[in-house]
Structure 1
Amino acid sequence: MQVTSVIKTLFSALRHRNFRLFFAGQLVSLIGTWMQNVGQAWLVLELTQSSFKLGIVSALQFAPMLFLSFPAGVLIDYFPKRRLIVTAQAVMMFLALTLALLDFSGTVRYWHILILATVLGIANTVDMPARQSFIIEMVGKEDLMNAIALNSSIFNAARAAGPAIAGLLIGTFGTAVCFLVNGLSYLAVILGLYMMKFEESAPRHRRPYSFGGDIREGLQYIRTKPVILITILLVAVVGVFGANFTVLVPVFVRQELQRDAAAFGLLMSCFGLGALLGALSLALLSRRGPTPALLLGGGMGLSLTLIAIGFQNSYAVTAVLLVLAGWFLVTFFSMANTTIQLETEDRLRGRVMSIYTLTFGGLTPFGSLFAGAVAHWIKTPLTFALGGLVSGIVFFVVIMNRRKVPAWREE
């Protein structure tokens, strides 16, 4: 009986049919996404032999969020989210298949990857906040934290499986296969979205567009909500200094550990495994709701782990530390996502989650450039340590002053 209760708690959000379809489609597609992430990073290094140029690709992939997140949030609050997600997924499928064709034909160049990464960033600027905002429409507030944790679990299961599969395929067939598999995997998401059914609701009154006014309203709302504001600022710090694994790990593997693509894929899988375990732990705790202890503890734990990575050069120790890093990272981001959504009014959800996405991904260009440039001029391990030190100081200050936040006083 107790086992049955645990299983029901762990997978409570899956009682909603629409979320089951979403869950299945994401599981397939995200494996392809992580395969492409590994393949693209390895391809860039093969073409350029430069960690800095790899950082530029990552920066361009997230740069559009800096300029388009605010208007994207207004669109998400105005148009049906499902329609926006389908459109964005179709665009990303086209981009992945284009890169596969270029790579298979042997004509791929570094500038091709720069352009495709930029367009992918534009599509992601709409897709990411739209998907985050869409979850509550599928499961409601009661199962929101569980749904976010389960969504994170498949994201990180894919993070564990995708890089390992990619590493093996790159060694056997080359990087192009990764891009082909990713392009085809988007069909699972698109099909699942089309199969969803929602109860008929009264037509919503559509107000006239007012990008400037709507953006100001969203920003003012965040400013009046201390928990949302502090959480978004912490997400920004982690996004810039604490989440540069896709830039630093491949360089660390090649230059410090002297290993190949398969070894790189395995280390990224260790990171994904830790994140998966963290997500499943949060799913079990979802009935308790988000807590500042998990939010702040996850961020501080990640910071300390990054510092530890920076002061060793053992492959085995790195694998263990990346498992811990994955666990702490997903704990922090899942708590941040849930906290912000539960504190946000429905009519503003698209705008608030777009700003969350801006800090989560839009500031990544600065993190990528920071990581790529610092790793280029000093040793990669020290870049890990420096990022952990900066984020650790910020989390320490917030932890010491958490009682000043009204919603956290009783925690």
Structure 2
Amino acid sequence: MVDQPRSSVGSHPDEEQVNRTEVSTSDTRGGMFRSLRERNYRYYASGQVVSLTGTWMQRAAQDWLVLELTGGSPAALGVAVALQFLPTLLFTLWAGVVADRFDKRRVLIATQSALGGCGLVLGLLDVTGVAVLWHVYVLCFVLGCFAAVDAPVRQSFVVEMVGPKQLTNAVALNSMTFNLARIVGPAIAGVLITAIGTGWVFLLNGISSAAVVGGLLLMDVAALHRSEPAPKERGQLRAGLRYVLGRPDLLVVLALVFFVSTFGMNFENSFAVIARNVFGRDADGYGLLITMLAVGTLSGAALAARRSGRGGPRMRLLLVGAAVFGLLEAGASLMPTYELFAGALVPVGIAVMTFTTTANATVQLSVEPTMRGRVMGLYMLLFLGGKPLGGLASGWLAELLGARWPILLGGLVSLAAAVVGAAVLAVRRRGVAQTS
């Protein structure tokens, strides 16, 4: 049996509290795809394969459309990305309150339908030849708003589909799906943009959202592992933040997530500069770097799915994953040739996926069910919210010191964050042991 996490604001959790979930042998049989034994999760995962591929197709087509409409302006492309990202900072924490108070499945049906609608609208504007830049900007912001609500609800819904025993495995499988779509989606989009144009790619993405909505509609509601929704009351967002502040173990995990994602995971911007300015490669050389990283992250997700059969997430694995990622990233930045740099990205991808899948499952399994949505809202805010800061820092460092420095310093910051996190937990364990 799985012991539900019983932590509270007044408790003194440490590393062992995060590791409280125990998985019996009977719960870990079935190989790396055992979460798919859950009928509801099979429906969801099948829809996600189609929908996420469409999402990555739209991202590639959207970038290309902006460049076409502006004569190749990088600044205009940056505005589009910022407008799509800004709602994450504005609404993600409140979306966590929505996840705790309302039926997550119904919320996801609404958000996924709306996300698909954005693709259909942009596609219709494009194929009819009336799309202009401000249309793209408006739809980027609207899409970002729905995505900001969708993210914490979707993350916290996984445990309702598979239960606590299979959460770690399901998180790893979700990561596999995401990274597979990240490889396949842009490749398909590149072919289709050339063959039929960007507008039809947007329309296909809009249609693809029907797959995940259909999966949600077909679910057996009675089989969901639901917890009691949080009661309607004032100050629920503040209550969630106080809960996290009362959990030093969670603070360490969330701080690690922020530093690694903000400074260590600015791959796209840094790789483009390295490919062009360090190794003299064109766009195809940059694309190969992204592909090699994706191969690593896909492999890391597969390893995480297989490893999840050995038990729940462990704080030690989280800290080691962050430290190893930092070391490997820093080492990759020093590779003297393009081929060696590209090859080094595969283990970097494996390490970063080990960290991210462990962090996600650790947070979800160590919080009260009624707080899970709000905590995951904060998790997603920290995971994504530092991207603008990291992007600005990497650009400034590359301009000032050279293209390799953002990767080198990002790795060292990740390593330092893991070391400090381990030291904080060690000091707290000793303090709790002395007072008990």
TM bucket normalised to smaller: 0.7 to 0.9
Other-structure match for 2:304: 282
Q: Is the 8 A contact 2:227 2:369 kept in 1?
A: no
Q: Does 1:350 align with 2:373?
A: yes
Question: Which amino acid is 1:396 matched to?
Answer: V
1: CA distance between counterparts of 2:271 and 2:292? 12
Q: Quick one: structure 1 residues 205 and 281, their matched pair in 2 at CA, closer, same or farther if it must change by over 3 Å?
A: closer
Deviations 1:126-170 (A, max 9, x none): 111111111111111111111111111111121222233334445
Q: Which among 378, 382, 402 is matched to residue 359 of structure 1? A: 382
Q: Kindly state the Cα deviation for residue 100 of structure 1 after the two structures are TM-superposed.
A: 3.4
1: CA distance between counterparts of 2:325 and 2:245? 27
Other-structure match for 1:192: 215
Question: Which amino acid is 1:24 matched to?
Answer: S
Between 31-40 and 376-385, report the one with greater CA deviation. 376-385
Matches for 1:2-401 after TM superposition, within 5 Å: 8-44=30-66, 47=70, 54-104=77-127, 108-170=131-193, 175-199=198-222, 207-210=231-234, 213-254=235-276, 256-287=278-309, 288-312=311-335, 314-375=337-398, 379-401=402-424
Between 336-345 and 370-379, report the one with greater CA deviation. 370-379
Between 163-172 and 119-128, report the one with greater CA deviation. 163-172
Question: Which amino acid is 2:167 matched to?
Answer: L
2: CA distance between counterparts of 1:330 and 1:58? 24
Q: Is the 8 A contact 1:60 1:365 kept in 2?
A: no
Q: Quick one: structure 1 residues 206 and 400, their matched pair in 2 at CA, closer, same or farther if it must change by over 3 Å?
A: closer
2: CA distance between counterparts of 1:322 and 1:45? 28
Other-structure match for 2:19: none
Unmatched tracts of structure 2, length 5 or more: 1-26
1: CA distance between counterparts of 2:208 and 2:405? 37
Q: Is the 8 A contact 1:97 1:179 kept in 2?
A: yes
Q: Quick one: structure 1 residues 205 and 261, their matched pair in 2 at CA, closer, same or farther if it must change by over 3 Å?
A: closer
Q: Is the 8 A contact 1:51 1:372 kept in 2?
A: no
Q: Quick one: structure 1 residues 169 and 303, their matched pair in 2 at CA, closer, same or farther if it must change by over 3 Å?
A: farther
Between 365-374 and 185-194, report the one with greater CA deviation. 365-374
Task: Report the secondary structure of 1:289's partner residue.
Answer: coil
1: CA distance between counterparts of 2:188 and 2:276? 19
Other-structure match for 2:18: none
Q: Is the 8 A contact 1:299 1:332 kept in 2?
A: yes
Q: Kindly state the Cα deviation for residue 75 of structure 1 after the two structures are TM-superposed.
A: 1.2
Q: Kindly state the Cα deviation for residue 278 of structure 1 after the two structures are TM-superposed.
A: 0.7
2: CA distance between counterparts of 1:177 and 1:262? 24
Q: Is the 8 A contact 2:164 2:365 kept in 1?
A: yes
1: CA distance between counterparts of 2:320 and 2:64? 33
Q: Is the 8 A contact 1:308 1:385 kept in 2?
A: yes
Task: Report the secondary structure of 1:207's partner residue.
Answer: coil
Q: Kindly state the Cα deviation for residue 235 of structure 1 after the two structures are TM-superposed.
A: 0.8
Q: Is the 8 A contact 1:239 1:364 kept in 2?
A: yes
Q: Kindly state the Cα deviation for residue 400 of structure 1 after the two structures are TM-superposed.
A: 4.2
Question: Which amino acid is 1:222 matched to?
Answer: V
2: CA distance between counterparts of 1:128 and 1:268? 23
Between 227-236 and 373-382, report the one with greater CA deviation. 373-382
Deviations 1:253-286 (A, max 9, x none): 4555555555444432322221111111111111
Q: Is the 8 A contact 1:59 1:366 kept in 2?
A: no
Other-structure match for 2:17: none
1: CA distance between counterparts of 2:227 and 2:312? 32
Question: Which amino acid is 2:232 matched to?
Answer: P
Q: Kindly state the Cα deviation for residue 18 of structure 1 after the two structures are TM-superposed.
A: 0.1
Between 154-163 and 232-241, report the one with greater CA deviation. 154-163
Q: Kindly state the Cα deviation for residue 7 of structure 1 after the two structures are TM-superposed.
A: 7.8
2: CA distance between counterparts of 1:258 and 1:103? 35
Q: Quick one: structure 1 residues 399 and 51, their matched pair in 2 at CA, closer, same or farther if it must change by over 3 Å?
A: farther
Q: Kindly state the Cα deviation for residue 109 of structure 1 after the two structures are TM-superposed.
A: 4.9
Q: Kindly state the Cα deviation for residue 396 of structure 1 after the two structures are TM-superposed.
A: 2.8
Q: Kindly state the Cα deviation for residue 293 of structure 1 after the two structures are TM-superposed.
A: 3.0
Q: Is the 8 A contact 2:249 2:425 kept in 1?
A: no
2: CA distance between counterparts of 1:205 and 1:98? 34
User: What percent identity do the matched residue pairs reach?
Assistant: 40
1: CA distance between counterparts of 2:391 and 2:300? 24
Q: Kindly state the Cα deviation for residue 31 of structure 1 after the two structures are TM-superposed.
A: 1.5
Q: Kindly state the Cα deviation for residue 389 of structure 1 after the two structures are TM-superposed.
A: 2.9
Between 115-124 and 248-257, report the one with greater CA deviation. 248-257
Q: Is the 8 A contact 1:41 1:250 kept in 2?
A: no
Task: Report the secondary structure of 2:30's partner residue.
Answer: helix
Q: Quick one: structure 1 residues 49 and 76, their matched pair in 2 at CA, closer, same or farther if it must change by over 3 Å?
A: same
Deviations 1:205-256 (A, max 9, x none): 873342xx11111111111112211111111112211222233334544555
2: CA distance between counterparts of 1:275 and 1:69? 25
Q: Is the 8 A contact 1:166 1:265 kept in 2?
A: no
Task: Report the secondary structure of 1:285's partner residue.
Answer: helix
Q: Kindly state the Cα deviation for residue 37 of structure 1 after the two structures are TM-superposed.
A: 3.0
Unmatched tracts of structure 1, length 5 or more: none
1: CA distance between counterparts of 2:277 and 2:72? 11
Between 140-149 and 247-256, report the one with greater CA deviation. 247-256
